[in-house]
Chain A
Amino acid sequence: MEFGFVLPTASRGSKEVDLVIIGGGPAGLSAGIYATRSGLNAIIVDKGNAGGLAEEAPYVENYLGFKGIKGEDLVKEFKEHALDYLEISERNEVKDIVIEDDRYVVKAERGEYRAKGIIFATGTTHKKLNVPGEDELLGKGVSYCVTCDGYFFRGKKVAVIGGGNSGAIAAIYLRDIGVEPVVLEYMPKFMCEKAYEKIIKKREIPYYTNVQVTEIRGNQKVEKVVYKDRSSGEVKELDVDGVFIYVGLIPISDLAKKIGVATDNKGYIKVDLSMRTNVPRVYAAGDVTGYAGQIIIAAGQGAMAALSAYEDIMLQ
């Protein structure tokens, strides 16, 4: 067993700042470093641990400078780097934002922050599959997080629904910890990066294409997945003990919408090339903009957003 130690950063109390960065994933952490270096007084507020969904990535093999690193470890590097510059308040959920005169008042569980600007680096959350059995069997074999729950299925067979990058990585991770995964992909071909496709083939992880999952079945716990083979139209069943769902992401943008930030029809925050939204001194970066889904892009967008905030707040 390896002993990792994740450090807490629990700032307390209200304060006046130049910039509040909501979300401590790669976008928020990078924004924090750039904002502070440019001279802005900033704070990062995160409802969970800093790191965001990147924490759940069992492996990251495409971040510049790291040939292969666990998401958890990469995020730890990010966080320690950012902590040299600014406060990160973890497990401190932002509940509301109101506008008072020319200030944004960000109301979080553990304090209020009056700010001149906000960067939404709020990211995304897992999308549900929306089939019968999914809600009923949640926690009884249905899961959305392999690093959290993979252990409970060692020696057992599970379906990974969704064969994009997240699903592919999940399947590889499961195989590594002694689980027997089968990937079920809706489209007629491999939907992950070629690099992952190669690993999946090499490790002989079954990857079924043209699969439309219609139901997850089981009494007290998951017993089988029912699906339609889209090429033949045939309805088939697959006996499994667990189901990990990786069918896409949905943006976390409700609070941004509340203060008038425009989003697209899926809820992703609309930004220009400098990461400005339609609302003055409000920016967005990372997965919540819909462009990213990649750690390196999120980090780049965070930097850009912070530089725009610097221009708007310090140079005016």
Chain B
Amino acid sequence: MGYIREEDKKYLRSEFEKNLQEEVKLLVFTGDRCQYCGVAVAIAKEVAELHSLIKFEEHKIDGKLAQEYGLDHAPTVVITDGEKYGGRIRYVGLPSGYEFSSLIEDIIDVSRRTAEVSPEVKEKLMTIDKPVKIQIFVTPTCPYCPRAVRTAHRFAILNENITGEMIEAVEFPEWANKWNVMSVPHIVINEDVQFIGAYPDEQYIEYVLQAYKKLR
């Protein structure tokens, strides 16, 4: 028996059938002594089996590709076209619970090679020409968190300088403690600018710009 229920699979198949356009790679980076790696692989495989445009690959967290993408925690799930998106759209820890919906929406956006952002926000977003890393600490039982994750991932899809990294705080408590995470979503940009809450794009982009301006 798999992790995803049959009726959910049926629904996902129809969503993918309607929305997928180009190939999407679902990469899972695994390591030794990793409690949830097996589950992450199993879930990714189940998702990939739902549509021929979704390709599953397993990689080692201490391998070459992980190094190229700058990954060091397992499991990490990356959604990519294998080219311009690189390893910038990612989940550290299991994308379960509410984050499973983020994963599915990311697969669809990456397959469409675009994401929806208003023209005003996009204009601001496209001024960013240096690397900005947005980390979003979440818990799987937080209904507000996917919005914060998806905003970062949508920004990353549109601007190749941006990396959006979800971090499952319950799975990586020491990492969460480092940033005193006590409420989620807790967003850390370039290990500097922080805010808490699921804000609309218009406010979110201002925090991203604040972090970006410190780079100049």
- The chain A residues found within 8 Å of chain B, CB to CB, are 1, 3-10, 12, 48-49, 51, 55-56, 72, 80, 83, 90-91, 93, 109-110, 138-143, 145, 147-149, 151-153, 220-221, 242
| Complex CA–CA separation, A220 to B182 (angstroms) | 12
The answer to whether A149 and B184 have CB atoms under 8 Å apart is yes
Q: Report B47 CB to chain A, min CB distance, Å.
A: 10
Query: Which B residues are CB-close (under 8 A) to A3?
Result: 3, 39, 43, 94, 96-97
Query: Which A residues are CB-close (under 8 A) to B8?
Result: 5, 7
Q: Report B50 CB to chain A, min CB distance, Å.
A: 12
Tell whether B127 is near chain A: CB-to-CB under 8 Å.
no
B window 159-216: CB within 8 A of A = 169-170, 176, 180-184, 186, 196-198, 200-201
The answer to whether A147 and B141 have CB atoms under 8 Å apart is yes
Query: Which A residues are CB-close (under 8 A) to B169?
Result: 151-152
The answer to whether A140 and B182 have CB atoms under 8 Å apart is yes
Name B12's closest neighbour in chain A (CB-CB).
A7
Given contacts A10-B108, A140-B182, A221-B182, contact A4 B144 (CB under 8 A): no
Contact for B142 among A10, A93, A109, A147, CB less than 8 A: A147
Tell whether B98 is near chain A: CB-to-CB under 8 Å.
yes
Given contacts A7-B12, A148-B183, contact A55 B39 (CB under 8 A): no
The answer to whether A149 and B139 have CB atoms under 8 Å apart is yes
| Complex CA–CA separation, A21 to B197 (angstroms) | 25
Name A220's closest neighbour in chain B (CB-CB).
B180
The answer to whether B143 and A12 have CB atoms under 8 Å apart is no
Given contacts A148-B141, A242-B182, contact A5 B147 (CB under 8 A): no
Query: Which A residues are CB-close (under 8 A) to B129?
Result: none
Query: Which B residues are CB-close (under 8 A) to A1?
Result: 36, 96
* B contact residues, range: 35 or more
Interface centre among B116, B141, B150, B196 (most CB of A within 10 A): B141
The answer to whether A145 and B142 have CB atoms under 8 Å apart is yes
The answer to whether B116 and A110 have CB atoms under 8 Å apart is yes
Query: Which A residues are CB-close (under 8 A) to B43?
Result: 3
Given contacts A4-B97, A5-B100, contact A148 B145 (CB under 8 A): yes
| Complex CA–CA separation, A4 to B95 (angstroms) | 10
Given contacts A91-B150, A148-B184, A242-B182, contact A49 B140 (CB under 8 A): no
The answer to whether A49 and B116 have CB atoms under 8 Å apart is no
B window 1-49: CB within 8 A of A = 3-5, 7-8, 11-12, 15, 36, 39, 43
| Complex CA–CA separation, A139 to B169 (angstroms) | 14
Q: Report A306 CB to chain B, min CB distance, Å.
A: 23
| Complex CA–CA separation, A91 to B105 (angstroms) | 11
The answer to whether A143 and B101 have CB atoms under 8 Å apart is no
Tell whether B66 is near chain A: CB-to-CB under 8 Å.
no
| Complex CA–CA separation, A148 to B183 (angstroms) | 7
Query: Which B residues are CB-close (under 8 A) to A152?
Result: 169, 176, 181-183
| Complex CA–CA separation, A90 to B198 (angstroms) | 14
Interface string of B66-109 (1 = CB under 8 A from A): 00000000000000000000000000001011101110110010
Q: Report A28 CB to chain B, min CB distance, Å.
A: 15
Name B39's closest neighbour in chain A (CB-CB).
A3
The answer to whether A5 and B4 have CB atoms under 8 Å apart is yes
Query: Which A residues are CB-close (under 8 A) to B198?
Result: 48
Q: Report B138 CB to chain A, min CB distance, Å.
A: 9
Given contacts A4-B96, A10-B105, A48-B198, contact A56 B182 (CB under 8 A): no
Query: Which B residues are CB-close (under 8 A) to A7?
Result: 8, 11-12, 100-101, 104
| Complex CA–CA separation, A263 to B104 (angstroms) | 39
Name B145's closest neighbour in chain A (CB-CB).
A148
Q: Report A296 CB to chain B, min CB distance, Å.
A: 20
The answer to whether A48 and B101 have CB atoms under 8 Å apart is no
